[in-house]
Structures are given as C-alpha cells and as structure tokens.
C-alpha cells in the first residue's frame, strides 16, 4: 500500500488524474470504478478540465459506480446514478450507457446484484477504482462486519453513515434511506489499481486503521492491505494519526518520476 500525503484536495485531484490519464493513454477503453461522496470531487474536476483542454477522452471508456441507495425515486437528486452524472459523467464524453450503477429500484434485488457483477466481469473488470472511505471505515457501503469476501448485495446502513450523509438530505437523518446496494469487498478488491482518497480530521481514525491497523471486518477498508496495488492519497489532517507518516513522506519524495502511483 502506497501512502501519499499531499498539500490539499487540488494536489490530490492532480495526482489521481495523472493516474487516470496514464491509464487512458495506454488503454483508451479502460474501465473506471467511480465513487460518489465529496472526497473524489477534486479528481473529477481535474479530469473534466483535462477533457475540456482536449488532453483526455472517455469516448471508449466505461464506468461502474460502487453503490446505490435502495428505493430512491429515479428523479431523486441524491440517487448515486444521478450524482455521478452531475459531478462527472455528463461533463465528459462517455458514450451513452457507458456508465452503469447497481439498480436500487429493482423489484428483484438479488438478480440486480448478480447482473451488476456480470456486467463488471463482461467489461473485463475494473482497471482503476477511485474510492473514498467512511468515518466508520466503510468503502462503497460495506459497513463494519461486512464479509471481506462479499460480492454486490443489499446492506443496511449504520446509524453513523446515515448521520454522515444527512447533509445531502437537508440534514434530515430520517430522509436518508436505510438500505443500499453495494459492490462487495471481494468485488472491489478485484480492481487492478485502487486509488483511495481521504481528507480532513474526521477521516483520521479510519485512515489509521486502513493503513496501520490489523485486517478486520470491523474496519472494512483494511481488506485493501491484501491488495497488490493500492494508493492512498491523504491531506495532513487525514494522515495525522499515522505512526509512520515521516516514512511515507520520505518514500514519496524520493520516488523516481517515471514510477507514477
Ligand atoms: C458514502 C459512499 C462512499 C464514500 C463515503 C465517504 O457513504 N457510499 O462511497 O466513500 O460515503 O464520503 P465523503 O467522501 O463524502 O466523505
């Protein structure tokens, strides 16, 4: 796991966008894993700028979102499928239908989850997965206790996650859905490169467990310690509880330019 402590969200966006650009240059039909939440927004903004500058195209690329609320009406602005369009997909040149998400309105939830797994597999798997992390250590919506081998399925959101996300629902916790569909930890772990972004003090505990804690379903993101290519992009506040932070800084400073993340 590579840990990179950067100045701010803008720097994080630039470094992550460099990795996406390098991928699309060598593989224009790459499959991107797209996360919602506020953490990846600077990455999306940077990718949109590069697209607008003519440096990047998503015309042949595909995207898969991580998760979706169950039961939010199709026209609800907080539906993740709508959110990812607004913050990223509709701002670049993805082909129609190239970005997919799990169907939170499906009548047959298990069938929809299986179909989503099949769609990711049929696309050849995710090349680069952008991830945020919840304050309770969730990735996607894999809450504490999630099987480290889990696949796309329905989950119940914790009270803490619903409180954290109430800000998107007029600060009304009761308006936050109780259930979601999420790629499992096993599903996410199959992405070839994972770029996890965390900023702010509120994420420091989750980041501490992710990077330096024991692997445990109680902190679901720790499953990434098993993955061969994970890059964790942090600001100072999110890195403040890392014991080896000086080592991570030194390692990144002395890294050869050609290596990328
Ligand atoms: C949400 C999403 C996650 C996201 C996390 C952090 O619950 N399901 O994919 O990573 O919360 O969100 P934020 O980046 O806004 O802190």
Listed in sequence order, the residues at least 6 apart from 102 whose beta carbon sits closer than 8 Å to its beta carbon are 65, 67, 68, 112, 113, 116, 152, 181, 182, 183
Burial group, residue 6, by CB count within 10 angstroms (0-12, 13-18, 19+) = buried
User: Which residue among 68, 103, 117, 138 is the active-site one?
Assistant: 138
Scored b (16 or more CB within 10 A) or e, 54-76 reads: eebebeebbbbbbbbbbebeeeb
22-46: pLDDT as tens digits: 999 999 999 999 999 999 999 999 9
Which residue lies with its CA nearest to atom 5 of ligand 1?
A: 134
172 is catalytic: no
Indicate if ligand 1 lies below 6 Å from the C-beta of 34.
no
Out of 143, 164, 190, 235, pick the active-site residue. Answer: 143
Q: How confident is the model at residue 206 (pLDDT cuts 50, 70, 90)?
A: very high
pLDDT digits (tens, 9 = 90+) for 73-125: 999 999 999 999 999 999 999 999 999 999 999 999 999 999 999 999 999 99
- How far away, in angstroms, is 117 Cα from ligand 1 center? 21
Ligand 1 atom at shortest distance from the alpha carbon of 182? 8
**235 counts as catalytic:** no
Is the pLDDT score of 258 beyond 90? no
Q: Give the distance (Å) from ligand 1 centre to CA of residue 134.
A: 5
Active site residue 67: yes
Asked if residue 35 has its Cβ within 6 Å of ligand 1, the reply is: yes
pLDDT band at 257 (very low <50, low <70, confident <90, very high): confident
Residue 108 appears among annotated catalytic residues = no
Which residue segments constitute the domains of the chain, with CATH numbers given? 2-254 (3.40.50.1360)
Which tens digits make up the pLDDT trace of 154-191? Answer: 999 999 999 989 999 999 999 999 999 999 999 999 99
Report residue 260's pLDDT band, with 50, 70 and 90 as the boundaries.
confident
Strand partners, 32: 63, 128
Give the per-residue pLDDT at 9.
97
Shortest-distance atom of ligand 1 to CA 80: 8
Which ligand 1 atom is the nearest neighbour of the CA of 133?
10
Give the bridge partners for 64, in sequence order.
33, 100
The verdict on the CB of residue 161 being under 6 Å from ligand 1 is yes
**Interatomic CA distance for residues 189 and 225, integer angstroms:** 10
The rounded distance, in Å, linking the Cα atoms of 182 and 37 is 14
pLDDT tens profile 116-147: 999 999 999 999 999 999 999 999 999 999 99
Tokens of 83: 């959110």
Q: Which of 9, 16, 34, 39 to mutate to test the pocket of ligand 1 (most atoms within 8 A of CB)?
A: 39
Report the distance separating Cα 62 and Cα 153, nearest Å. Answer: 22
pLDDT, tens digit (0-9, with 9 covering 90-100), for 43-67: 999 999 999 999 999 999 999 999 9
Whose tokens are 């109780």? That residue is: 178
């Amino acid at each position: 796991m590579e840990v990179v402590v950067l100045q701010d969200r803008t720097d994080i966006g630039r470094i992550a966008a460099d990795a996406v650009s390098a991928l699309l240059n060598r593989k224009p039909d790459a499959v991107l894993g797209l996360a919602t939440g506020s953490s990846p927004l600077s990455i999306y903004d940077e990718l949109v700028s590069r697209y607008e500058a003519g440096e990047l195209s998503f015309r042949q690329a595909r995207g898969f979102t991580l998760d979706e609320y169950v039961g939010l009406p199709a026209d609800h602005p907080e539906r993740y499928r709508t959110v990812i369009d607004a913050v990223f997909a509709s701002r670049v040149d993805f082909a129609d239908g190239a970005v997919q998400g799990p169907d939170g309105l499906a009548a047959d939830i298990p069938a929809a989850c299986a179909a989503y797994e099949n769609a990711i597999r049929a696309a050849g798997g995710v090349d680069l997965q952008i991830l945020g992390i919840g304050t309770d250590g969730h990735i996607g919506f894999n809450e504490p206790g999630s099987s480290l081998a889990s696949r796309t399925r329905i989950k119940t959101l914790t009270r803490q996650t619903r409180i954290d996300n109430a800000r998107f629902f007029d600060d009304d916790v009761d308006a936050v859905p109780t259930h979601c569909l999420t790629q499992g930890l096993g599903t996410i772990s199959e992405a070839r490169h994972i770029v996890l972004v965390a900023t702010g003090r509120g994420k420091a505990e989750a980041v501490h467990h992710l990077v330096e804690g024991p692997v445990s379903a109680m902190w679901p993101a720790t499953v990434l310690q098993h993955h061969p290519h994970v890059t964790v992009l942090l600001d100072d506040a999110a890195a403040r509880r890392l014991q080896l932070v000086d080592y991570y800084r030194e390692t990144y400073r002395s890294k050869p330019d050609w290596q990328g993340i």
